[in-house]
């Protein structure tokens, strides 16, 4: 009897195992990935052991991952929303809530030609009330040199956009010809649409660029090599690497050995605009103040008032949009040297006698080609936009 009972139990066990195996096979059909893992393991037991081992590894790595993931996610969200760096230790007590940035949208007519008259000057009037608190106090308002917005220094401080070390700089430059860019115009990344921003974020993610971190020369060149290979499917040439090295130096004016995140982001934003948008669309991004400054620059270069300037003078003007931190900026109605100071790397700079000797020869070679007002705007629009940030860095290195 005992033997019969043991056989019956054996049969029942076999039946149960058969049912379990058939159910297991049905489950494998519904989950191909699980089947592949089972076949790789060679047995049901091996698969379970693998799952347990993987679970133990995830559990052991679990405590350190959430903080890193949440911090990285927050950084990517700030990058997407254009809010900039917001460290956790930043004290926002008694501060105003920062505005919600709305990225622009492309219009159907953006790529159509835009007529900007040279003779018809534009009268630009700044807003009367503070952009933040909407209160009028005439003498204490700081105007933006790009748009018509004005601000109180106290409101900028409460917003967290004006720290103690930058208060004096804003006070000294806001009412001069050099001027000061507000937090809207200072951030070139806000010129990108949502689609363009996601494209940039995807590129940064693929190249393993961590948001809100500084980049060394090796990091910058490695990134440029990867982007170039993705775009053209071939390695970067030696001349292009040298140009990238010059761009790094232009983004690091203080020779710190690294470039700040906001300078790198501004550079990449203007590069993406050049890649994705035609010049007509870029011209629509210019403000009335920028158009007026461009008119003053062209008229100062057009000494004989025939509506044309030399190609060399057009290239020379590209260097005048930078170096925005000069306490005494002369009027822009006399000559090209007064439109804006030239960068030290500019071939038109008077830093050395050699550059002064080479300039006339360069002009002689470039005399055959002349540039009119529309061509001048098209060839300089990218440099005008790139000069918006308050940073001393050159976010778009002019060609030599």
236 and 314 belong to one structural domain: no
298 and 373 belong to one structural domain: yes
195 and 295 belong to one structural domain: no
For residue range 221-242, list pLDDT tens digits in order: 999 999 999 989 999 999 999 9
- The CATH number of residue 177's host domain is 3.30.40.10
* Residue 35, pLDDT score: 42
When pLDDT is cut at 50, 70 and 90, the band that residue 372 belongs to is very high
222 and 171 belong to one structural domain: no
198 and 249 belong to one structural domain: yes
* Closest C-alpha among 177, 95, 140, 120 to residue 291: 120
Instruction: Give the range with max mean pLDDT: 56-70, 205-219, 313-327, 354-368.
Output: 205-219
What is the chain's alpha carbon radius of gyration, rounded to the nearest angstrom?
30
- The CATH number of residue 253's host domain is 1.10.238
Instruction: Give the range with max mean pLDDT: 133-147, 258-272, 306-320.
Output: 258-272
The answer to whether residue 71 is domain-embedded is no
When pLDDT is cut at 50, 70 and 90, the band that residue 327 belongs to is very low
286 and 390 belong to one structural domain: yes
Q: Are 296 and 302 spatial neighbours (Cβ–Cβ below 8 Å)?
A: no
Domain final residue, candidates 256, 276, 296: 276
With a cut of 70, say whether residue 7 has pLDDT above it: no
* Residue 78, pLDDT score: 74
| Number of folded domains that form the chain | 3
Instruction: Give the range with max mean pLDDT: 28-42, 155-169, 270-284.
Output: 270-284
For residue range 248-277, list pLDDT tens digits in order: 999 999 999 999 999 999 999 999 999 999
- Give percent of the chain above pLDDT 70: 65
* Residue 396, pLDDT score: 92
* Residue 326, pLDDT score: 43
H helix runs in the chain, sequence order: 2-30, 32-41, 44-61, 65-81, 153-159, 164-173, 194-206, 217-232, 238-251, 261-276, 279-283, 288-301, 311-318, 336-339, 353-366, 373-386
287 and 392 belong to one structural domain: yes
The answer to whether residue 230 is domain-embedded is yes
Instruction: Give the range with max mean pLDDT: 90-104, 283-297, 299-313, 319-333.
Output: 283-297
> Which of residues 399 and 10 earns the better pLDDT score?
399
The answer to whether residue 27 is domain-embedded is no
The mean pLDDT value for 204-218 works out to 93
Domain final residue, candidates 170, 186, 202: 186
When pLDDT is cut at 50, 70 and 90, the band that residue 77 belongs to is confident
The answer to whether residue 99 is domain-embedded is yes
> Which of residues 93 and 201 earns the better pLDDT score?
201
The mean pLDDT value for 149-178 works out to 78
286 and 391 belong to one structural domain: yes
Domain final residue, candidates 163, 186, 209: 186
When pLDDT is cut at 50, 70 and 90, the band that residue 380 belongs to is very high
Instruction: Give the range with max mean pLDDT: 10-24, 157-171, 282-296, 309-323.
Output: 282-296
Burial group, residue 102, by CB count within 10 angstroms (0-12, 13-18, 19+):
exposed
Tell me the Ramachandran region of residue 42: left when phi exceeds 0, alpha when psi lies from -120 to 50, beta otherwise: left
Q: Cβ of 252: how many Cβ atoms within 10 Å?
A: 21
Q: Cβ of 115: how many Cβ atoms within 10 Å?
A: 7
176 and 214 belong to one structural domain: no
219 and 268 belong to one structural domain: yes
270 and 283 belong to one structural domain: no
218 and 289 belong to one structural domain: no
The answer to whether residue 240 is domain-embedded is yes
When pLDDT is cut at 50, 70 and 90, the band that residue 14 belongs to is low
With a cut of 80, say whether residue 25 has pLDDT above it: no
The answer to whether residue 30 is domain-embedded is no
The answer to whether residue 177 is domain-embedded is yes
With a cut of 50, say whether residue 197 has pLDDT above it: yes
- Domain residue limits at 99: 91-105+119-186
Residue 58 Cα to chain centre, angstroms:
35
- Give percent of the chain above pLDDT 90: 37
Instruction: Look at residue 324 and give its three-state secondary structure.
Output: coil
The answer to whether residue 37 is domain-embedded is no
Q: Which helix (H) or strand (E) holds 216?
A: strand 215-216
Instruction: Give the range with max mean pLDDT: 96-110, 159-173, 283-297, 339-353.
Output: 283-297
């Amino acid at each position: 009897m005992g033997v019969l009972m043991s056989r019956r139990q054996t049969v029942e066990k076999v039946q149960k195992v058969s049912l379990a195996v058939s159910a297991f096979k049905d489950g494998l059909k519904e989950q191909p990935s699980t089947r592949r893992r089972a076949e790789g393991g060679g047995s049901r037991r091996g698969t379970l052991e693998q799952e347990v081992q993987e679970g133990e590894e995830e559990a052991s790595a679990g405590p350190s991952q959430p903080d890193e993931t949440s911090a990285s996610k927050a950084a990517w969200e700030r990058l997407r929303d254009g809010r900039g760096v917001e460290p956790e230790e930043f004290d926002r007590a008694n501060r105003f809530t920062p505005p919600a940035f709305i990225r622009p949208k492309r219009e159907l007519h953006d790529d159509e030609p835009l007529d900007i008259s040279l003779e018809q000057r534009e009268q630009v009037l700044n807003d009367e009330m503070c952009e933040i608190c909407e209160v009028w106090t005439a003498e204490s308002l700081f105007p933006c040199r790009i748009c018509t917005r004005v601000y109180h220094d106290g409101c900028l401080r409460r917003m967290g956009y004006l720290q103690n070390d930058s208060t004096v700089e804003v006070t000294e430059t806001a009412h001069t010809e050099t001027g000061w860019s507000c937090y809207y115009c200072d951030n070139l990344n806000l010129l990108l649409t949502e689609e363009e921003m996601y494209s940039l974020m995807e590129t940064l993610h693929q190249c393993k660029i961590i948001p809100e971190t500084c980049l060394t020369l090796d990091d910058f060149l490695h990134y440029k090599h990867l982007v170039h290979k993705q775009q053209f499917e071939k390695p970067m040439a030696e001349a292009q690497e040298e140009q990238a090295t010059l761009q790094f130096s232009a983004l690091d004016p203080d020779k710190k050995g690294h470039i700040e995140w906001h300078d790198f982001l501004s550079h990449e934003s203007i590069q993406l605009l050049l890649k994705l948008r035609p010049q007509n669309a870029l011209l629509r991004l210019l403000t009335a103040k920028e158009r007026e400054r461009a008119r003053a620059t062209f008229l100062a270069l057009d000494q004989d008032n025939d509506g044309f300037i030399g190609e060399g003078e057009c290239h020379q003007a590209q260097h005048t949009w930078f170096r925005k931190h000069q306490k005494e900026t002369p009027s822009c109605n006399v000559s090209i040297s007064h439109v804006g100071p030239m960068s030290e790397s500019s071939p038109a700079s008077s830093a050395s006698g050699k550059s002064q000797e080479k300039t006339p020869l360069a002009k002689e070679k470039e005399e055959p080609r002349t540039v009119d007002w529309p061509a001048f705007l098209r060839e300089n629009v990218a440099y005008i936009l790139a000069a918006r940030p308050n940073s001393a860095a050159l976010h778009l290195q002019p060609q030599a």
